[in-house]
Structure 1
Amino acid sequence: MPKVSVVIPAYNAMKYLPATLESVLQQTFTDIEILIINDGSTDNIIEWTTKITDPRVQVISQENKGLSGARNTGITHASGEYIAFIDADDLWLPTKLEKQVKCLDNSPQAGLVYTWTAWTDETGKPTGVIVASNVEGYVWEQMVVNDKISNGSSAMVRRICFDKVGLFDAELTSSEDRDMWIRLAAHYHFAVVKEPLTLYRRHSQSMSKNRPKMLKNIRRVFEKTFESAPTELLYLRNRSYGWINLYTAWTCMDEKNYQEAIKYRRQALLHYPQIFFTTYFLRLSVAIVIMSLLGSQGYDNLRSLTRNLRRLVLGAVT
């Protein structure tokens, strides 16, 4: 049996899927099986998969069941001790699986290991944003308030953990990974590889940009979570809503809509007034002022300058 099962849900994803698969095939850790779940696609995925010659790749076709349903199919067909998920538009750096396997092998108490994530644009070019968290061990409280993993392509999970917590919630059409990480964190320790080995592609079709859908689903996640949470932890509920509204405000800024960002910033304050004193809130407020004064182009130019300076500083340090 392979050590790791890699699950790739795919729905009309041929624009990015070949590059995603190639990044998996180029992993330095090779004891893997790759399960591409064709979730009712209407593109040319079937024709494309007939040309794949690597015996580690399997294609499983099904009627469209959504991202959760596709991941669940992958889990039920997986034969590996560990399961790693990657969305069909994301990428991995070559040592990702090797370092995660080593981490789980050396940390028997951990049920999940994640990596840092670097954002890319639609073409795969790095944007300069790196999502980095050092949170590990018992992380349930942190995962409820802030999604430290940040995307569905970063985590590797012990197969046996799903026997305990169940499969992905098929009623969620987004935030299903956040829901799963919270459920896993209630029973297992988390570990982290502190390198940006996951590349998260940001583009116009990213589900994270559908704000009404995202907020509807994350509300379901929060309400389900706190329905069974101990009474002494219910104070985290408002904090969770505060942070998700603040993150949503930042997505508005990415779309050059600072007026809507102001609306979500206000909601963040109403839910969790203490968020005012966080660096993330202060940075958002400065960004809103800059965009309102300089316009979207001036804001982009200034942001590009600061990111380039950050790269130079980090390069000098390393």
Structure 2
Amino acid sequence: MEYPKVSIIIPTYNRESTLKRSINSILNQTYKSFELIIVDDGSTDKTKEVVNSFNDGRIIYLYQQNKGACAARNYGISIARGKYIAFQDSDDEWLPNKLEMQLSTIRRTKSDFDICRMQTVENKEIVPSDTAINAGLNAQYIIGANFMSTQMLLIRKDVILAEKFDPSLPRFQDWDLAMRLYPKYKSSFTPFVLVKRYLMSDSITYNNNKAVQAYSILEKKYSNIYTKNPDRYSIYLYNKVKACGKSLSREEKLSIYKTSFKYKARFKTLVRIIQTFFGKE
């Protein structure tokens, strides 16, 4: 059996406290044919010392001036030597059989990329959700709501070289990538939780201002798709309010909910409109 090399890329910035756990979860993989590319995005803490504490020839340490996680991932992709690419975050943890199981799925289905499930440790939320799975994890569903995070992804190198990450996005780079992958390439799904995600107090997940910026960029970038899919655009707008949180005023939330309702009349959206109007949302 062929054992193709996998290039695993970790972008990291000032995560000396969690990076060791992340690296260990990769070194403990049951599948051993990999290289681990750690791209230090301008850290000012002891990130380099943490990396150097590991004595493993498969680890490659790269440093760049702070340009953001997307640029760091793209840098890692550009020097990767594996047939497949996987991504890890410096906060998170892989289960030991992640690579083995996903490669098995790709071999069996002859897919271009595969995603597994991921669970957030703090709130036990699992993605993709059962709703997304039952809907088919397809290009149509992804228009309205994201179900892919980079840590869940195993992808052929030639595919990710053709697509890469959009560094203009301050958040939702994974959603943007999924919007491009699902309509063009063959996907597969490994239906097991193989990633544990940890939310730090300064996690980008909590940055509502960046969510507002990212939603604006995505809406412009895929305006033609949303125009052709009013039902999914309605869901996209509904989810926008939740993601952007307190960075939206009551008037802005009300306007977005009304637009969502215009494109697809849903009872839950009507409820949100009423709650927001009376200041209870």
TM-score range, shorter chain: 0.7 to 0.9
Equivalent position of 1:308 in the other structure: none
The alignment partner of 2:235 has SS state of helix
SS at match of 1:43: coil
Q: CA deviation digits over 1:207-248, x for unaligned, max 9?
A: 011112112112201220224x38633553343122232344
**Partners of 1:264 and 1:23 in 2: how far apart?**
42
Further displaced range: 237-246 or 111-120 = 237-246
How far is the alpha carbon of 1:267 from its aligned partner?
5.3
Deviation (angstroms), 1:147 = 0.4
Residue aligning to 1:174: 171
Paired residue secondary structure (1:134) = helix
Aligned pair count reads: 268
State the alpha-carbon separation in 2 of the partners of residues 137 and 276 from structure 1.
21
Q: Structure 1 residues 152, 44: CA separation in 2 closer, same or farther (over 3 Å shift)?
A: same
Confirm or deny that 1:272 pairs with 2:260. Answer: yes
Q: Secondary structure in 2 aligned to 1:219?
A: helix
Other-structure match for 2:203: 206
Shift of 1:8: 0.3
Shift of 1:48: 2.4
In the alignment, the residues of structure 2 paired with residue 236 and residue 128 of structure 1 have an alpha-carbon distance, to the nearest angstrom, of 26
Residues 77-119 of structure 1 show CA distances to partners (whole Å, capped at 9, x for unaligned) of 11111111111111111111111111111222x2221111111
Counterpart of 1:144 in structure 2 is: 143
- 2:73 counterpart of 1:76: no
Any unmatched runs of 5+ in structure 2?
Answer: none
Q: Please give the secondary structure, in 1, of the residue aligned with 2:168.
A: coil
1:159-214 per-position Cα deviation (integer Å, ceiling 9, x unaligned): 111243x3211111211121111111121132211111111112211101111211
- Secondary structure, counterpart of 1:87 in structure 2: coil
Other structure's SS at 1:54 match? coil
Q: Which residue of 1 aligns with 2:235?
A: 239
Residue type of the partner of 1:270?
Answer: K
Identify the residue that residue 119 of structure 2 maps to in structure 1.
118
2:8 and 2:36 in contact (8 A); partners too:
yes
Name 1:304's counterpart in structure 2: none
Quote the residue 1:160 is aligned against.
158
Equivalents in 2 of 1:268, 1:58: separation in Å? 45
- The structural deviation recorded for 1:62 is 1.4
Residue identity (%): 25
Q: Give distance in 1, aligned partners of 2:32 and 2:117.
A: 21
Cα distance change, pair 172–247 in 1 and its aligned pair in 2 (3 A): closer
* Structure 1: segments with no counterpart, 5+ residues: 122-126, 253-259, 293-318
Matches within 5 A, 1:44-123: 44-108=46-110, 110-121=111-122
Does the Cα contact within 8 Å between 1:136 and 1:189 map onto a contact in 2? no
Q: Specify the alignment match of 1:316 in structure 2.
A: none
Alpha-carbon shift at residue 2 of structure 1 (Å): 5.1
Q: Distance in 2 between matches of 1:135 and 1:55?
A: 42
Alignment partner of 1:183 out of 162, 180, 184: 180
Distance 2:78 2:135 in 1: 27
Match of 1:299 in 2: none
TM-score with structure 2 setting the length: 0.84
In structure 2, distance between residues paired with 1:202 and 1:230 = 31
SS in 1 for 2:21: helix
What is the Cα deviation at residue 64 of structure 1? 1.3
Q: CA RMSD in A?
A: 3.0
> What is the rounded CA distance, in whole Å, between the counterparts of 1:263 and 1:6 in structure 2?
44
User: 2: distance between equivalents of 1:264 and 1:189?
Assistant: 38
